């Protein structure tokens, strides 16, 4: 399984264009924020002294929540390529268990997704400091890095489940484009959750990545919000999607962690079963 994982990593990293394209969604969201979204949202919270720092941090936390999605799609494209090229049949006829092969695909995707998330985190911190903000304290950095493990695995399991249904590169490429386009809206990055229609808000709240985004925002904004008057802090949290509400209930951090953990196990199990089942056909 380790050799199979290493093989997938080498194939992905060998294609420099693929590596760059895996970060394209991150660059697009970052560019939109730098060019005009940051200014638009800052104007909406002009009553808060450090509004720009809050907006930048909020955006970078949201970006972190989805940074692993495109890289994971890129690595899992190897699985589709193996299917399309009939290479997977060689693996199925080998002594390697099918579940080990599925685990090799998902673990290599997880490794790349986590590395890209860390790169995004570092770049985000540089941007916040460059724009007049402050770097996160060390304890918060450790919390973010730890949480990114869960967020990345959750995103990996979800994308793996979606990918397990495809057999051709054309269908996979279309799905990658659609998911890369919609992920920013689904997780409330382009538009705060409070600005979305009620029906769409429920979709956002049911999407695992949204819970990862909220948890990252709560960690990264904690210190910046501490210096803001309570009334303005609550206004910002509600408007910027720092908290999630189910009806009148505000979801606690522990509930979002459970949601991410449950979805990770569920989608990984379903994807592994799907891959194993199709290998017998």
Q: Which helix (H) or strand (E) holds 245?
A: strand 245-246
**pLDDT score at 276:** 67
Rounded Cα distance between 195 and 217, Å, is 18
Q: Give whole-number Cα distances, 68 to 75, 133, 203, 211, 224, in Å.
A: 11, 25, 20, 15, 25
Rounded Cα distance between 239 and 225, Å, is 14
Rounded Cα distance between 28 and 155, Å, is 19
**pLDDT score at 53:** 86
**pLDDT score at 90:** 56
Number of domains within the chain: 1
**pLDDT score at 105:** 82
Q: Give whole-number Cα distances, 226 to 50, 54, 218, 219, 231, in Å.
A: 11, 11, 12, 12, 12
**pLDDT score at 145:** 95
Q: At what angle do helices 2-14 and 98-130 cross, to 10 degrees?
A: 50
**pLDDT score at 96:** 62
Rounded Cα distance between 271 and 281, Å, is 16
DSSP conformation class of 78? H
**pLDDT score at 244:** 82
Q: From first to last of the 281 residues of the chain, give the pLDDT tens digit.
A: 677 788 888 888 888 877 877 777 788 888 888 887 777 777 777 777 787 888 889 889 988 988 888 889 888 888 888 777 766 665 556 666 666 777 788 889 999 999 999 999 999 999 999 888 889 999 999 999 999 999 999 999 999 998 888 878 888 888 777 777 777 777 667 777 767 777 777 888 888 888 999 999 999 998 888 888 877 787 778 777 788 888 778 888 999 999 999 999 999 888 877 776 655 54
What's the chain's length in residues?
A: 281
Tokens of 50: 């450090």
pLDDT tens digits along 204-222:
888 888 899 999 999 999 8
**pLDDT score at 99:** 64
Q: Give whole-number Cα distances, 188 to 24, 82, 203, 245, in Å.
A: 19, 34, 10, 13
**pLDDT score at 170:** 82
Q: Are 249 and 80 in contact (CB under 8 A)?
A: no
**pLDDT score at 245:** 80
**pLDDT score at 277:** 66
Indicate the pTM of the whole model: 0.88
Q: How would you class 185 by CB atoms within 10 Å of its CB: exposed for 0-12, middle for 13-18, buried for 19 or more?
A: middle
Rounded Cα distance between 165 and 92, Å, is 17
Task: Say which residues have a Cβ less than 8 Å from residue 218's Cβ, sequence separation at least 6.
Answer: 242, 243, 253
Find where tokens 């929540």 sit.
Answer: 65
**Which phi and psi (to 5°) does residue 49 adopt?**
-60, -50
Q: Are 89 and 279 in contact (CB under 8 A)?
A: no
Q: Domain range for residue 189?
A: 2-279
pLDDT tens digits along 20-31:
777 777 888 888
**pLDDT score at 146:** 95
């Amino acid at each position: 399984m380790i050799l199979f994982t290493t093989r997938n990593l080498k194939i992905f990293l060998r294609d420099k264009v693929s590596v760059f394209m895996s970060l394209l969604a991150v660059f697009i969201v970052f560019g939109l924020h730098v060019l005009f979204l940051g200014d638009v949202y800052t104007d909406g919270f002009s009553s808060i002294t450090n509004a720009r720092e809050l907006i930048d941090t909020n955006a970078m936390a949201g970006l972190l929540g989805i940074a692993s999605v495109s890289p994971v799609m890129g690595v899992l494209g190897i699985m589709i390529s193996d299917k399309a090229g009939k290479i997977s049949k060689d693996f199925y006829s080998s002594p390697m268990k099918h579940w080990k092969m599925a685990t090799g695909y998902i673990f290599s995707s997880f490794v790349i997704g986590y590395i890209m998330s860390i790169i995004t985190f570092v770049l985000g911190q540089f941007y916040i400091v460059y724009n007049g903000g402050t770097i996160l304290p060390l304890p918060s950095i450790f919390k973010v890095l730890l949480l990114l493990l869960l967020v990345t695995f959750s995103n990996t399991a979800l994308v793996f489940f979606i990918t397990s249904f495809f057999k051709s590169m054309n269908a996979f490429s279309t799905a990658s484009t659609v998911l890369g386009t919609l992920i920013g809206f689904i997780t409330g990055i382009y538009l705060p959750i409070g600005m979305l229609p009620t029906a769409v808000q429920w979709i956002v709240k049911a999407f695992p990545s949204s819970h990862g985004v909220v948890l990252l925002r709560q960690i990264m904004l904690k210190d910046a919000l501490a210096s803001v008057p309570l009334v303005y802090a609550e206004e910002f949290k509600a408007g910027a999607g720092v908290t999630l509400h189910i009806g009148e209930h505000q979801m606690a951090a522990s509930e979002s962690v459970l949601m991410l953990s449950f979805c990770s196990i569920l989608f990984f199990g379903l994807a592994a079963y799907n891959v194993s089942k199709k290998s017998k056909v």
